Structure 1
């Protein structure tokens, strides 16, 4: 049984010059700060110092970039063993599916439509993060091609929604693979069931 100390140390009083940034902590402990996606990716020691500018038109791409890209890039940076294999497999399958889908859409001749777009600079910490950026670029091209074909009456609204829903599901799967720790994957990239 652990011995209980006879005295309790007094909490340190903060200096008068420092601000607590909100409510004071009665315990004297520093408040816990959660890492945001930006602060998480800033702590990574990248294998490369690459940056790219991604142009996107779809709401899904914008949401994914703002809420999931930095999280995935950070998790990719620390992935080891089976988790790396699982991520690589999922990213390559997604990229190949998007490539084939774009080729299928291009079979239907349609005049290009200039959709409104935004641009954002992304940090690429590892080659797999670069592959994720490639998938996002491919997704946005599929989005534009499907919208052009729908506007020209080459495909139906149901076909367009089916294509985009499948693509979005594949990209969300990348986020799901990033969540478990490295030790939850077997050497061949399979997730261990609990």
Structure 2
């Protein structure tokens, strides 16, 4: 005698699925809800209640402000222990490097160039965030002065490109320091081996 296989009954499909969470692009996927940099910094109880207006001319400064500044400022606001020390050391080293580079460019004695600029208001959550804003201001000053030195043929365009690449690398390093959690840093600011 042959065995008869019965299929399970089909589920009731009369109810329509809830499409209120479906992504607007029609893929049917729910949108990913993450804290963006703006919402992240808005949720921080800041030590300082300061804001500043930053003027910038360079594309790098614009991209850094739009993609990294609020992330760094929020991570700086919640940093504790060794992470604060690591960030403080890196920000002071970066600011000092920019100061020396600016002085080196000033020795070339070139006329200043008026560059078009944009302005943005930034929230400063802690004094270290203010130091990051200072570094961004110094970067933009180096950007403009180095352009003037190239125009006056005091340095080559390749030298300027290397100078700006070094400056950008230093600011991107700050973002890398912000990423790990507080417990991944020793008290002296060194990153623990993983």
TM-score, normalised on structure 2? Answer: 0.85
Q: Return 124-133 or 151-160, whichever deviates more.
A: 151-160
In the alignment, what sits opposite 2:105? 105
5+ residue gaps, structure 2, are 1-17, 24-29
Name 2:153's counterpart in structure 1.
153
Given that 2:22 and 2:31 are in contact with CA atoms closer than 8 Å, whether structure 1 keeps it comes out as no
In the other structure, the counterpart of 2:162 is: 162
Q: Which has the larger radius of gyration?
A: 2
Deviation at 1:162, TM superposition (A): 1.2
Mapped to 2, the partners of 1:137 and 1:50 lie a distance apart of: 17
Question: Partner of 1:175 in structure 2?
Answer: 175
Q: Does the residue aligned with 2:44 lie in a helix, a strand or coil? A: coil
Aligned to 2:48: 48
**1:181-192 counterparts in 2 under 5 A?**
181-192=181-192
Cα shift at 1:91: 0.1
List per-residue Cα deviations over 1:60-118 (Å, max 9, x = no partner).
00000000000000000010000000000000000000000000000001111111111
How far apart, CA to CA, are the structure 2 residues paired with 1:40 and 1:69?
Answer: 11
Tell me how large the CA RMSD over aligned residues is: 1.9
| 2:133 aligned residue | 133
Query: Aligned ranges for residues 47-86 of structure 1 at < 5 Å?
Result: 47-86=47-86
Shift of residue 48, structure 1, vs aligned partner? 1.2
Structure 2 counterparts to residues 86-105 of structure 1, below 5 A: 86-105=86-105
- Cα distance in 2 between the residues matched to 1:176 and 1:190: 13
Question: How many residues were matched structurally?
Answer: 173
Hey, what's the Cα distance between the residues in 1 that align with 2:147 and 2:46?
36
User: CA shift at 1:33, angstroms?
Assistant: 1.5
1:151-183 per-residue CA deviation (whole Å, 9 max, x = no partner) reads 111111111111101110000000000000000
Q: Which moved more, 1:93-102 or 1:41-50?
A: 41-50
- Secondary structure in structure 1 of the residue aligned to 2:138: helix
- In the alignment, the residues of structure 1 paired with residue 113 and residue 35 of structure 2 have an alpha-carbon distance, to the nearest angstrom, of 40
**1:26 paired residue number:** none
Q: Distance in 2 between matches of 1:55 and 1:193?
A: 39
The runs of 4+ residues in structure 1 deviating greater than 2 Å are 19-23
In structure 1, the partner of 2:15 is none
Counterpart for residue 3 of structure 1: none
The Cα shift of 1:20 comes to 2.9
